Amino acid sequence: MYFTPRRYAFTPFPSSPPDAEPETAVVVGAGPVGLALALGLSRRGVPVTVLEAGDSVVYGSRAICLSRHSLEVLERLGVGEEFAERSLPWTSGRSFHRDAEVLSFEMPHVDGDVRTPMVNLSQSVAEQILVDEIGRTDSCTVRWQCRVLDCTEQDGVVTVRIATPEGQRELRTRWLIAADGARSTVRESLGLHLNGTSYEGRYVIADIHWRSPLPTERRVWFDPPSNPGSTIILHRQPDDIWRVDYQLGPDDDPEAEIAEQRIRDRITRHLDWLLGNTEPWTLEWSSLYRAHSLSLDSYRHGRVLFAGDAAHLVPIFGVRGLNSGLEDADTLAWTLASVVGGTADPALLDTYAAERREAWRQNVEQAEKSTLFMTPGTHGYAMTRDAVLTLAHRRPVLRHLINPRQSSATHSRASPLTCAATRDESPDPVPGDPIPDRAVLAESAPGQVPSSVNIERGSDFTVLGVRTAPGALTDFAQSLRKRLAPAVGVRALVTHHGNGHERAIPCPEERLLDDSAGNLESAFGAEPGEVFVIRPDGLLLGRFPGPDHLGAPEELADHILQGGSR
């Protein structure tokens, strides 16, 4: 086996006495979203307990594709380097109709980008990295073999009833976060339901161990001669593991198709047709998948908050599920920590819920287009899809319809937190957009070190000045920090163009970034003197023509801590 999960013992603990102080935060579910959220909260000084029904991380690739933006989230949690070292980067893909190529695409990637658009890594490995990091982190604990039965809220406290190997226990907590997946027990306990669309198409997904010369790219075959009428997706993973997804026909019996020998037969036919394969391979893991576009109406219910698949489901095509869940975790960590720390109004959590519900809508808008193409649910859609594939051989103008629309970071332009642009016809990024990460040189005694915007701003709010005057951002950043601390900090970053920008007086409050190559300035569409206020989760709060347009830091702090404009 290419991956053997570690088994974790149950650690006995008593029920919370009714008169004892409740725990601060409890996360249900030790999937990648729950683990990332717990790690993010603990990094901000919030003690967290994670409850997991199983005794190990998952087995199998499951969600394998991590976007550039997700890698930034993981870097802020302190595990980005290990994820980068253990994953396979990729930038391109190809689609085939039968045996003819009908699409070749490259995901956006320009000079100055710090990361590739996408990397592949098995979810089992991703979860283990996060679990290991939590093991090295104070005030963050995973309790294994703790299956949540239900929860109730009363007088500002949520009581969670848990089944353990030693009988039932109760935990009392101020805040409960449901990250317990598509079959969320917490959601069911509260009588909540996901609303939206479920699709008829079903896919078998499998991991195989196979040595192959094929490159690391996304490959898709529509109606291949190896499996007529099916659609097959192939992805390379680390350690000679390949992910194979293939569509079942409407008359196929799912129970029969998930049998090991049936899976072997289908994959063997495809590998033999594709390469005349003679290399032996082993089947490591398999599962059955059906596409859904479903969401709760709200991701906050009193003191219970929802994230990841417990809050929303998106189709697998375009790899938005895990990536959107990590965005949930990133935003919820700083907003909930601000409320727990006593600086922010709980209304800030309503803003989280509204932003991430809107992000689900953005994801679904793109994912549904891909899903209708990958798994056409009606005869009409199937005929249209087949016509596009047939004509795409000769009509390149149609090939954009085959585009898988790979995951990209969602925006919060409609969020009440977002400040309108004050520059006419402001270029991208506009307020609410995720900021681009670009390579820079950071000033550090005795010289400069290679860095990036994401590394320099860390997990704080950031006031970024583009060639602003020395000291122009110091007072603003200091005053804003006093109001937002301790859950989040505030950093002041200032770009310059090498020797062309000399500091007459030292400004220790402002970190200097050498952008002589113009990577950052170009990516931000910035003019000299412009100021950008960036949220901890990498979204642009607002852009201003100059420091004098920032207004009073107390007003911006109130705006943030009260959840935005009313």
pLDDT tens by residue, 159-212? 999 999 999 999 999 999 999 999 999 999 999 999 999 887 789 999 999 999
What's the mean pLDDT when you consider all of the chain? 92
In whole angstroms, give the CA distance from residue 286 to residue 300.
34
Report the pLDDT value the prediction gives residue 445, as an integer from 0 to 100.
64
Give me the domains of the chain, ranges plus CATH numbers: 23-88+116-195+292-369 (3.50.50.60), 197-290 (3.30.9), 439-561 (3.40.30.10)
In whole angstroms, give the CA distance from residue 3 to residue 65.
18
Average pLDDT over residues 33-58: 98
Q: Name the residue among 118, 132, 7 with its Cα closest to residue 58.
A: 7
Q: Map tokens 């596409």 to a residue.
A: 291
pTM given for the model:
0.95
Does 114 score more than 70 pLDDT? yes
Determine the 3-state secondary structure of 268 from DSSP: helix
Does 18 score more than 60 pLDDT? yes
Q: Which of 313-322, 368-377, 410-419 tops mean pLDDT? A: 410-419
Report the pLDDT value the prediction gives residue 500, as an integer from 0 to 100.
46
How much of the chain exceeds pLDDT 70, in percent? 96
- Higher-scoring residue by pLDDT: 150, 566: 150
Tokens, residue 457: 């701003």
Does 504 score more than 50 pLDDT? no
Dihedral angle at the C-alpha atoms of 508, 511, 514, 518, nearest 10 degrees? -140
The answer to whether the beta carbons of residues 144 and 10 sit under 8 Å apart is: yes
